[in-house]
């Protein structure tokens, strides 16, 4: 045992510290979600209890009002009465389209730019950061009047195009950097073998680009999924996506909020993200490792 | 449920095709833009009944309606033919000249309307009101009795009662107000300032006229009340205030009449509190004779940039949607301003406020800018980090900058 | 490429150009007339806009009145006159600070900068620490831990902020627990500016740290094993190995993470709405939102000016990265 020098043995204190730290972090990171998940099966008087937060755990008012410690009232209200399913469907359409279109343009454009003899990196980066830094609402307010004039306001394709455009410089920049890290030799040797530029891209580059594409896709997905400013201002009521819909459950001056609907809908909106991360977690890490982010 | 039965019954009686005959329309496209809350939803469901061959009725209920209405009605033809407005959201449409004068339509189709429903500006009818809203007092009679006090009718009396309640240990935070930074806070200032008999602008111009004795007294009273509120009062919106009240933490509050349903009556969340609650007119302040609360109405306008046919169809559909039976069938949904409406008990606080002569929320073109400024610039004063004089000077300076940009001041 | 380029021109060049133009103009003078307004609550004498006369003015100059940089230097933005007044007549640095913070732009800028400059490094430090700890875990435990760690980042910011806001309310689980810990029943995270700032910053770290984590964790997978081994043979301790091998290896990743975090944090907006924090903390994004969402109509010029200033702010913050990229590009092109 004493063959290893003492400072190279994994020190017990260090490991214990690391595990303790991780445990605290996990508690902090995940607790609000489990708290909200648990609370979404209670009634408002419990989850937002003024007497004691312990009520949110035990649910005395839920028991009184519904006869059981758990209730699906919030979910029924949101999904059936207020037709949250419609918003969920719209979110699916918007996010899938935005992600697909951004990646399609981003991949082709990023590849072309990375193989161009001129250097665009700085300009793409500046465009990317201007657009990421500028609050979306500034851009959206400017779009309103032209969209009404062209009669394209309120429909899903408009919101999709705007989200893609806002996101495009950033997507281009990430994929451009990623393609720069793929050696030019790969496609050049394919072209020497008689392939056209497009064939070289299809046969030599596509097979190795997936890690970078998936990572970039995650950013596009989150942008579209979490967006409030664009979708709230550009979509008609029947085309509304989940985040603005949840916002409309909260109370205003004229009406009391259906706040448990908002809680249930919030939980519902987070579930797909859970699944996504569970499914893609390994690939995201692999994509980042593969150099999509090396600047 | 009642609404559902109503729809069912009317379709049974009239049959599907004759419904449009009930609305009296042959053709037209009716497109409604509206805020998203239940009472307006009721009206819009009624409007949808008019859909028939050649008559389309569509509606967009959204909380972003204020940002959408101006661009949507600017284009020709307008995206919407009807916009649901309140006395504040009507103003931007008027400022841009997007509202159709309704005198002809009222004369032709508006027999059911009472004169008080007609909103006239410079002699022209520009909007039709159908609901009212105002803040008024909600009092916990049981707590007041426990402390041996009579129900106060003025803010000075409320301060005294609050001190008694606190000192006798009946309630730690006897008062509540919707003082959340932003729109709510500004609305509280407007209420109090109107109650003090104050004005916001110099007569006939957009120049601010707040930094004076009345403005200072308004702010002092607002600040004095916060001493008896829970510490996070700058985050309490009207909705949160209602929650504080129904959880028993607040003994007296000046809250919107539209919130009454969850507080008293069948839908109340706490029976005991509901039974102990009395509704009264908004309090007076500073020896003024009128309640310190602005009166609001909700109604509709017809867009200017649409065809006459669509305008006529839209007006008729709206007349169907606000016919007297709608108010009678949904007495709890709102304080209707529709003829023949018999106000329920729960509306008496609001009616008392109106009867006692409260002033309407101003409809001057730049009032919205003032409101927005108040919501931002009064915050530091309310937190005690700024003097009242400085706060009012800040309001005037910030408002003037905004008003110059918007073209009201030079 | 063509559609992509077209879309970029349409949706990038045009809006940015129009924002720049908008920021230089103010609205036409509006012609006011006094009329009698009658409604459900009686009649009053009020002013209204004479739309016909205003439309004539508008037709003459469709863009509005040219104001040059007037909007940029007015009280709502850089407040040049007000600053000069404060600097020429004041009662010491404390007074200067208080009065400058009373100007809306500087109030927003102060919070935005404090938020960005605190959240960014703290996020990176926390993310790096979590990545190191996770990397040392046994293989089977890694999956679930990574999953739980990523939750705060993927959750919709507005909704995540709301969920936490419900918990920090004085009656919520965190708020009530803090009151019990500090034995102070009046403690409220929403009441004082300092506590609100801290709450927002802690929320920001909580929300963005998983992003730093996942990038660093990915980077840790690529640390060359032989370098680590030779460091071990040279007798480097655990900390020395992290400091001299792992950290230099992750430096390019750190720049990437820092860049994204700076951009996203500078745009902080959702938590201010979610926490109803505008009484104590406003950000530049919030100012823009406020200009565009008021009931008094939209102040496009003001919002555009703030947007331009925000963008310039981000560019200044990112100058080091931009210079590095510029040099890198030059090197590659040569």
Q: What is the mean pLDDT of residues C251-270?
A: 86
Are B39 and A255 in contact (CB < 8 Å)? yes
Q: Which residues of A touch C267 (CB under 8 A)?
A: 132-133, 135
Q: Which residues of C touch B114 (CB under 8 A)?
A: none
Q: Which residues of A touch B62 (CB under 8 A)?
A: 232, 237, 240, 244, 248
Chain centre distance of CA A98: 11
Interface test with B, best of C43, C45, C47, C86 (most B CBs within 10 A): C47
More confident residue, C324 or B8: C324
Tell me, yes or no, if A30 comes closer than 8 A to chain C by beta carbon. Answer: yes
Structure confidence by residue, pLDDT tens digits, C165-184: 888 887 788 888 888 898 88
Are C214 and A285 in contact (CB < 8 Å)? yes
The SS3 assignment for C57 reads helix
More confident residue, C209 or A270: C209
- Kindly tell me if the per-residue pLDDT of C3 is higher than 70: no
Structure confidence by residue, pLDDT tens digits, A59-93: 888 888 888 889 998 999 899 988 899 999 999 99
- At C329 the pLDDT is 55
pLDDT-derived band at C225, boundaries 50, 70, 90: confident
Q: What is the mean pLDDT of residues A158-179?
A: 86
Tell me, yes or no, if A257 comes closer than 8 A to chain B by beta carbon. Answer: yes
Q: Which residues of B touch A148 (CB under 8 A)?
A: 71-72, 74-75, 79
- At B202 the pLDDT is 93
Interface test with B, best of A48, A248, A255 (most B CBs within 10 A): A255
- Kindly tell me if the per-residue pLDDT of A2 is higher than 50: no
- At B139 the pLDDT is 96
Structure confidence by residue, pLDDT tens digits, A142-157: 788 888 989 999 999 9
Residue A277: name the closest of A223, A218, A225, A216 by CA: A218
Interface test with C, best of B69, B76, B232 (most C CBs within 10 A): B232
**Statement: C105-329 belongs to CATH 1.10.3720.10:** yes
CA distance A188 to chain C (A): 18
Are B66 and C295 in contact (CB < 8 Å)? yes
B122 to each of B104, B245, C54, how far by Cα in Å? 16, 42, 17
- At B106 the pLDDT is 96
Are B235 and C28 in contact (CB < 8 Å)? no
Residues 6+ apart with CB under 8 A from C262: C116, C120, C314, C317, C318
Q: Which residues of A touch B60 (CB under 8 A)?
A: 154, 236-237
Q: What is the mean pLDDT of residues C235-245?
A: 83
| Helix/strand/coil percentages in chain A, nearest 5 | 80, 0, 20
CB pairs under 8 A between B and C: 195
- At C7 the pLDDT is 63
Are B258 and A255 in contact (CB < 8 Å)? yes
- Kindly tell me if the per-residue pLDDT of C283 is higher than 90: yes
- The torsion of the CA quartet A128, A134, A137, A142, rounded to 10 degrees, works out to -80
Residues 142..171 of A with a Cβ closer than 8 Å to C: which?
142-143, 161-162, 164-166, 168-169
Residue B65: name the closest of A258, C212, A186, A236 by CA: A236
Give the one of B123, B237, B407 whose C-beta lies nearest to C29's C-beta: B407
Q: What is the mean pLDDT of residues A231-259?
A: 83
- At C1 the pLDDT is 52
Q: Which residues of C touch A135 (CB under 8 A)?
A: 267, 269, 284-285, 288-289, 307, 310
Give the Cα separation of C15 and C163 in Å (integer).
34
B308 to each of B27, B62, B93, C150, C210, how far by Cα in Å? 11, 26, 19, 57, 58
CA distance C285 to chain B (A): 15
Residue B93: name the closest of B72, B116, B76, B117 by CA: B72
More confident residue, A208 or A225: A225
Structure confidence by residue, pLDDT tens digits, C78-135: 999 999 999 998 888 988 988 898 899 999 999 999 999 999 999 999 999 999 999 8
CATH number for the domain running over B10-133+296-347? 3.40.190.10
Burial of C272 (0-12, 13-18, 19+ CB in 10 A): buried
- Kindly tell me if the per-residue pLDDT of C317 is higher than 60: yes
Q: What is the mean pLDDT of residues A258-266?
A: 88
Is the preceding peptide bond at B164 cis, omega within 30 degrees of 0?
A: no
Are C104 and B376 in contact (CB < 8 Å)? yes
Tell me, yes or no, if A7 comes closer than 8 A to chain C by beta carbon. Answer: yes
Kindly list the domain boundaries of chain B, sorted by start residue: 10-133+296-347, 134-294+351-406
Tell me, yes or no, if B54 comes closer than 8 A to chain C by beta carbon. Answer: no
Instruction: Give the right CATH number for A84-292 from 1.10.3720.10, 3.40.190.10, 3.30.465.10, 1.10.730.10.
Output: 1.10.3720.10
Give the one of A45, A148, A248 whose C-beta lies nearest to B63's C-beta: A248
Kindly list the domain boundaries of chain A, sorted by start residue: 1-35, 84-292
pLDDT-derived band at A3, boundaries 50, 70, 90: very low
Question: What sign does the CA torsion over B88, B94, B98, B104 have?
Answer: positive
Q: What is the mean pLDDT of residues C291-320?
A: 86
- Kindly tell me if the per-residue pLDDT of C333 is higher than 70: no
Predicted TM-score (pTM) of this structure: 0.89
Q: pLDDT of chain B along its 410 residues, tens only?
A: 344 334 444 433 444 444 445 688 888 999 999 998 888 999 999 999 999 888 999 999 988 898 899 999 999 999 999 999 998 999 999 999 999 999 999 999 999 999 999 999 989 999 999 999 999 999 999 999 999 999 999 999 999 999 999 999 999 999 999 999 999 999 999 999 999 999 999 988 999 999 999 999 999 999 999 999 988 898 898 988 988 898 888 999 999 998 888 888 887 878 899 999 999 999 999 998 899 999 999 999 999 999 999 999 999 999 999 999 999 999 888 899 998 888 888 888 998 999 999 999 999 999 999 999 999 999 999 988 899 999 999 999 999 999 999 999 98
Kindly list the domain boundaries of chain C, sorted by start residue: 70-102, 105-329
- At C331 the pLDDT is 42
Residue of chain C with shortest Cα separation from B127: C39
- At B117 the pLDDT is 94
* ipTM of the modeled complex: 0.86
Total residue count of chain A as it appears in this document: 295
CATH number for the domain running over B134-294+351-406? 3.40.190.10
Residues 74..113 of C with a Cβ closer than 8 Å to B: which?
74-76, 82, 98, 102, 104
Structure confidence by residue, pLDDT tens digits, C149-160: 988 888 888 878
Q: How many CB atoms lie within 10 A of CB B118?
A: 21
Name the percent of chain A lying above pLDDT 90: 21
Using an 8 Å Cβ cutoff, are C75 and C82 in contact?
yes
Mean of pLDDT over chain C? 85
């Amino acid at each position: 045992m004493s063959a290893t020098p003492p400072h190279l043995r994994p020190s017990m204190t260090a490991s214990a510290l690391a595990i303790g730290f991780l445990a605290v972090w996990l508690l902090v990171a995940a607790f609000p979600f489990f708290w909200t998940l648990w609370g979404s099966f209670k009634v408002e008087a419990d989850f937002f209890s003024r007497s004691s937060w312990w009520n949110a755990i035990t649910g005395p008012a839920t028991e009184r009002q519904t006869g059981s410690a758990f209730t699906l009232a919030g979910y029924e209200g949101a999904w059936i009465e207020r037709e949250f399913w419609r918003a969920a469907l719209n979110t699916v359409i918007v996010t899938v389209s935005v992600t697909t279109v951004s990646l399609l343009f981003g991949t082709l454009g990023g590849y072309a730019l990375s193989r161009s003899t001129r250097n665009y990196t700085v300009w793409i980066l500046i465009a990317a950061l201007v657009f990421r830094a500028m609050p979306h609402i500034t851009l959206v307010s400017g779009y309103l009047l032209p969209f009404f004039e062209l009669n394209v306001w309120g429909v899903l394709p408009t919101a999709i195009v705007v989200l893609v455009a806002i996101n495009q410089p950033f997507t281009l920049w990430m994929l451009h950097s990623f393609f720069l890290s793929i050696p030019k030799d790969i496609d050049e040797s394919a072209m020497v073998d008689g392939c056209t530029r497009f064939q070289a891209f299809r046969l030599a580059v596509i097979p190795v680009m997936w890690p970078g594409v998936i990572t970039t896709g995650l950013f596009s997905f989150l942008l579209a999924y979490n967006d409030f400013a664009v979708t709230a201002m550009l979509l008609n009521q029947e085309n509304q996506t989940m985040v603005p819909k949840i916002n409309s459950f909260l109370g205003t001056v004229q009406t009391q909020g259906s706040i448990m609907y908002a809680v249930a809908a919030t939980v519902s909106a987070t579930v797909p993200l859970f699944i996504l991360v569970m499914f893609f977690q390994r690939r995201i890490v692999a994509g980042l490792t593969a150099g999509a982010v090396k600047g | 449920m009642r609404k559902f039965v109503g729809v069912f019954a009317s379709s049974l009686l009239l049959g599907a095709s004759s419904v449009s005959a009930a609305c009296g329309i042959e053709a037209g496209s009716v497109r409604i833009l509206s805020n998203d809350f239940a009472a307006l939803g009721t009206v819009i469901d009624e409007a949808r009944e008019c859909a028939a061959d050649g008559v389309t009725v569509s509606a967009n209920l959204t909380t972003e309606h204020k940002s959408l209405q101006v661009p949507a009605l600017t284009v020709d033809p307008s995206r919407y033919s009807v916009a649901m407005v309140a006395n504040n959201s009507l103003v931007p449409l008027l400022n841009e000249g997007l509202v159709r004068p309704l005198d002809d339509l009222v004369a032709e189709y508006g027999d059911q309307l009472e004169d008080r429903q007609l909103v006239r500006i410079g002699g022209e009818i520009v909007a039709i009101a159908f609901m009212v809203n105002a803040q008024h007092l909600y009092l916990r009679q049981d707590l007041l009795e426990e402390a041996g006090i009579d129900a106060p009718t003025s803010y000075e009396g409320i301060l005294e009662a609050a001190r008694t309640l606190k000192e006798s240990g009946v309630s730690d935070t006897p008062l509540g107000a919707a003082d959340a930074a932003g729109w709510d806070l500004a609305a509280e200032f407007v209420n109090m300032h109107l109650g003090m008999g104050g004005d916001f602008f110099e007569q006939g111009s957009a120049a601010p006229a707040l930094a004076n004795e009345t403005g200072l007294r308004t702010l002092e009273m607002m600040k004095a009340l916060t001493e008896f509120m829970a510490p996070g009062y700058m985050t309490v919106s009207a909705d949160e205030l209602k929650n504080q009240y129904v959880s028993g933490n607040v003994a007296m509050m000046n809250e919107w009449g539209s919130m009454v349903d969850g507080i008293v009556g069948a839908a109340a969340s706490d029976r005991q509190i509901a039974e102990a609650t009395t509704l009264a007119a908004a309090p007076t302040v500073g020896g003024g004779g009128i309640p310190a609360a602005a009166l609001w109405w909700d109604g509709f306008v017809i867009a200017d940039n649409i065809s006459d046919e669509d305008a006529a169809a839209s007006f008729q559909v709206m007349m169907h949607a606000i016919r007297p039976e709608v108010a009678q069938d949904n007495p709890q949904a709102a304080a209707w301003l529709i003829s023949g409406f018999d106000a329920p008990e729960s509306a008496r606080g609001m009616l008392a406020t109106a009867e006692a002569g409260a002033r309407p929320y101003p409809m001057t073109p730049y009032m919205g800018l003032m409101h927005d400024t108040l919501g931002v610039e009064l915050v530091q004063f309310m937190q005690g980090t700024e003097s009242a004089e400085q706060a009012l000077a800040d309001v005037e300076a910030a408002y003037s900058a905004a008003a110059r940009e918007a073209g009201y001041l030079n | 490429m063509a559609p992509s380029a077209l879309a970029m021109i349409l949706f990038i060049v045009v809006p940015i150009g129009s924002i720049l133009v908008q920021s230089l103009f103010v609205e036409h003078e509006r012609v006011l007339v006094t009329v009698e307004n009658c409604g459900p609550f009686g009649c009053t004498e009020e002013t209204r806009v004479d739309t016909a006369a205003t439309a004539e003015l508008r037709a003459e100059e469709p863009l509005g009145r040219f104001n040059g940089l007037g909007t940029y230097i007015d009280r709502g933005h850089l407040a040049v006159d007000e600053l000069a007044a404060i600097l020429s007549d004041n009662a010491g640095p404390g007074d200067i600070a208080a009065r400058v913070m009373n100007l809306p732009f500087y109030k927003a800028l102060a919070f935005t900068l404090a938020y960005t400059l605190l959240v960014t490094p703290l996020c990176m430090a926390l993310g790096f620490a979590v990545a190191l700890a996770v990397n040392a875990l046994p293989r089977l435990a890694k999956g679930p831990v990574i999953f739980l760690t990523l939750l705060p980042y993927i959750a919709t910011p507005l909704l995540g902020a709301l969920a936490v806001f419900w918990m920090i309310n004085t009656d919520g689980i965190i708020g009530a627990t803090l009151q019990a810990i500090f034995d102070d029943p009046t403690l409220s995270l929403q009441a004082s500016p300092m506590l609100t700032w801290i709450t927002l910053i802690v929320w920001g770290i909580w929300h963005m740290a998983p992003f730093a984590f996942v990038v660093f964790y990915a980077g840790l997978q690529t640390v060359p094993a032989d370098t680590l081994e030779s460091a071990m043979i040279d007798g480097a301790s655990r900390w020395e190995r992290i400091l001299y091998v792992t950290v230099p290896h992750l430096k390019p990743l750190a720049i990437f993470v820092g860049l994204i975090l700076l951009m996203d944090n500078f745009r902080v907006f959702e938590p201010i709405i979610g926490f109803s924090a505008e009484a104590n903390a406003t950000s530049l994004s919030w100012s823009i939102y406020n200009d565009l969402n008021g009931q008094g109509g939209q102040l496009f010029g003001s919002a555009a000016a703030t947007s331009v200033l925000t963008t310039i702010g981000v560019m200044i913050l990112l100058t080091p990265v931009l210079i590095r990229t510029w040099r890198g590009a030059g090197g590659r092109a040569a």
